[in-house]
Chain A
Amino acid sequence: MLFNSFEYAIFLPIVFLLYWLVFNRSLKLQNFFVLVVSYIFYGWWDWRFLLLIAFTSLCSFASGILIEKFRQQRTKARAVGALNIVVNLSILGLFKYYNFFVKTFAETFLDGNADGFVLNIILPVGISFYTFQALSYSIDVYRQKIAATRNLVQFMAFVSFFPQLVAGPIERATNLLPQFSKPRTFDYDKAVDGMRQMLWGFFKKIVIADNCALIANGIFEAYEARNGSTLLIGAIAFTFQIYGDFSGYSDIAIGTARLFGIDLMRNFNYPYFSRDIAEFWRRWHISLTTWFRDYVYIPLGGSRVCKWKVVRNTFVIFLLSGFWHGANWTFIAWGAYHAVLFLPLILLGKNRKYTNTVAEGRFLPSIKEFGQMLLTFFLAVIGWVIFRAETIDKAVVYIGRMFSQGLLSVPSGIGVPRQVVATFCFIIVLILVEWIHRTKQFGLQFSGRISTPLRFGIYCAIVLAIMIFGRFQAQFIYFQF
């Protein structure tokens, strides 16, 4: 079920009312209800893959109990943990990466003939998200950061909690699981804030991302016939498309969860206001970045090892992060590109130079800050071209043409001019609103008291923008990951 679908508009109010009015009498019942509706939410897409989520959940649940049981026998506990990781990653590998490896092998050694080896299977929606979430639980139990739960319903509700099931944030057991073991009471302010966050998420997805998609798709599909300035517009459109799409999804997910009295972790912190690439990665897809940091980078030694190991560790997490997005060389190249940008900062010890909010206490940034943000933004734009292109060759040609003499020519072939102008006007609105609220959790989180008419006026304006300029029923990009 898509958040931006008619089905979800019916599903959410019904679930909300039943959750608070019927199933609130017992925590067990409420958790069971969450589990059932989460499975309905996922099964709406393809019920067969519910078995996969159930299997993943059961494996991690059992491994948690066994790890705790073998607490005194470290080898056994480690073996159980390793087995759980292998099983989960094997499922992920089979569905997501098997065909990629077979085809790559065939192209390298068998003249590209992979017939007979390629599997005709669908990639289950959100498999990378819930696999990583389930994995984090057993690792945290092994590390004794959390006690193994004996409550299967609670655990399965944690893995499959519908707002964040298919596209994150990738929750940690330490944050989400305890919330399923405490009684939840309705909090008016939290629910209202959740609604606002959802509204802002819908705006980002339906107005920004889906309109940018029209521009970006048209340009990327026929990039060979476009001049430099048009290609730059295409790249910028995709930059806002992916941000609007993914951070919009996260806002809707976090907002929805708050309606149910659950707090999910933050996933985006205005990444395009970053002053260097290190700051960008602290603000972009935070749940994945911190997952790789905690479960891969730090166990490898992090930055407290010799320099060549720092280089190795940096490349490992960026390449893994790229590969996590999909079985394509472009994602790996995108990871490598960011590793190259990140490496000088970490080697010079400047990767944590900007941990505060840009222009803190001021409305406008200084010229230096503005220049830094602009440079980081354009480095990200180039990265997104690599990410969006079908092949690395095409990405290279795209970037080459983008910086040719045509960069100074008039853009052409970018679709209906009125729609393009409207889309870029909305991008400016997005930037302004998020800049003003950059210290807040999300763009529409009001600071202080504002009058009711003004508040209602803002809600109406956003809803009107969604209804007039929005494009409905478009898939979220990150579902495929």
Chain B
Amino acid sequence: MKKFIIRTLGVSTLCLLVCSVFSLYSFYKVRNHTTFAFPKDKHTIVIGDSHTECSIDDAILSNWRNYSTSGMHYFYINIMLKKMLSENPKIDSVIISARPTSFVAMNEKADNKTLDHKWLYNKSTIDIRKSFLYFLTVDELKDVSQEVPYMLFSLFRPEDIPAIYTKSTITQGDLGMTGGYLYIDRNNLQIDIDKHRKKKETQLMPYKADMQIKYFMQIVTLCKQKGCTLILLDPPEYAWEANAVKYRDVDKFREIFPNCKDTLYIADYHNYNLPDSCYADAGHLNYHGARAFSQNIKENGLIITDTIYPIKSK
């Protein structure tokens, strides 16, 4: 028994040591040798969730670069933006995906953490988000450890990124942090409409995503410091989805940002009309929709609307 325990502890220690060496090396290499620089002709970056991911075709908008990724929390957007803005001084505009539901949502369970957890920590995407953790500040680390302690475990796991061991300079692409425009070739609108018809009415409760709001405010401050225009983009959605009460509690949205009227620009396209063939589903555009929407922006510019705040023009 004693022999077994000693040997098991010995093997476990050895394995831990080997993993720690790889982890520390990954940590050092990623943190100190990663570049966030991108082509100089791009001065507008789009960085958001699946809604901007599917709606902005940056091949049409030549000076734009879409960095969006599905389910992106502002926590991660903030990390990326800090690196991007410091390495790319030419960026003058930042467009982030924002809808009322990004901050406040209606759900059957009034749980403030649900919304944060949905984006901050998702079992299926944790490994994709892992490399973000290497860039955390101490405060951010504290937030993560309080919110989702399990995420810290990822820091002790070495990365499965060959570039760490083979390249002197690591790029965002190597880390899987590039995101981009998502070309969707499907139209499931009718399926969503059918589901919507069958859906039973349930009691919905409003709740706030505190971490989302906190890091959103940090993005606002960051853009202000760097002299960048920050625009919140609410891309087109199918009519009933766009106007569903659970998604459009505008009053709550307004309550969150009472002091940002002078620094935030809102491009609210949620009611922008597109043919049914342009939707991948009720909440997202497919590539037809992305082309039509991006072409519209190219021709008319991004219209700053007054749905939520007073009219501003860019």
Decide yes or no: A467 and B19 within 8 Å by CB, A6-B150, A188-B3, A418-B162 being known contacts. Answer: yes
> Which of chain A's residues 387-425 have a Cβ closer than 8 Å to chain B?
416, 418-419, 422
A29→B159 CA distance, assembly (Å): 45
Chain A: which residue is nearest B17 at the CB level? Answer: A460
Number of A-B residue pairs, CB cutoff 8 Å, is 53
**Shortest CB distance B31–A (Å):** 18
What is the 8 Å Cβ interface bit string for chain B, positions 2-27, against chain A (1 contact, 0 not)?
A: 01100110010011001100100000
Tell me if B123 and A459 are in contact (CB < 8 A). no
Tell me if A464 and B22 are in contact (CB < 8 A). yes
Decide yes or no: A464 and B158 within 8 Å by CB, A456-B11, A456-B14, A473-B123 being known contacts. Answer: yes
Please tell me if A463 contacts chain B, counting CB pairs below 8 Å.
yes
Q: Inside 8 A of A468's CB, which chain B residues have their CB?
A: 22, 157-160
> Which of chain B's residues 19-71 have a Cβ closer than 8 Å to chain A?
19, 22
Size band of the interface chain B makes with A: 20 to 34
Interface on chain B toward A: helix, strand, loop, or mixed SS?
helix
A195→B10 CA distance, assembly (Å): 14
Please tell me if A191 contacts chain B, counting CB pairs below 8 Å.
yes
A471→B153 CA distance, assembly (Å): 12
Q: Inside 8 A of B227's CB, which chain A residues have their CB?
A: none
A222→B185 CA distance, assembly (Å): 11
A456→B12 CA distance, assembly (Å): 10
Please tell me if A474 contacts chain B, counting CB pairs below 8 Å.
yes
A93→B18 CA distance, assembly (Å): 50
Size band of the interface chain A makes with B: 20 to 34
A18→B123 CA distance, assembly (Å): 33
A172→B185 CA distance, assembly (Å): 52
Tell me if A191 and B158 are in contact (CB < 8 A). no
Please tell me if A469 contacts chain B, counting CB pairs below 8 Å.
yes
Decide yes or no: A186 and B4 within 8 Å by CB, A225-B186, A463-B18, A468-B158 being known contacts. Answer: yes
**Shortest CB distance A424–B (Å):** 14
**Shortest CB distance A120–B (Å):** 12
Task: Return the contact of B15 from the options A192, A225, A419, A459 (Cβ within 8 A).
Answer: A459
Please tell me if A101 contacts chain B, counting CB pairs below 8 Å.
no
Decide yes or no: A474 and B123 within 8 Å by CB, A188-B3, A464-B19 being known contacts. Answer: yes
Task: Return the contact of B4 from the options A191, A459, A467 (Cβ within 8 A).
Answer: A191
Decide yes or no: A464 and B4 within 8 Å by CB, A225-B185, A459-B11 being known contacts. Answer: no
Q: Inside 8 A of B162's CB, which chain A residues have their CB?
A: 418
Decide yes or no: A469 and B160 within 8 Å by CB, A195-B8, A416-B176, A456-B14 being known contacts. Answer: yes
What is the 8 Å Cβ interface bit string for chain A, positions 20-60, against chain B (1 contact, 0 not)?
A: 11000000000000000000000000000000000000000
Q: List 28 A-B contacts (CB under 8 A).
A: A186-B4, A188-B1, A188-B3, A191-B4, A192-B4, A192-B7, A214-B124, A225-B185, A225-B186, A418-B160, A422-B160, A456-B11, A456-B14, A459-B15, A460-B18, A463-B15, A463-B18, A463-B19, A464-B15, A464-B19, A467-B157, A467-B158, A468-B158, A468-B160, A469-B160, A471-B127, A473-B123, A473-B150
Q: Which 7 A-B pairs have the closest CB atoms?
A: A463-B15, A468-B160, A467-B19, A468-B158, A460-B18, A186-B1, A467-B157
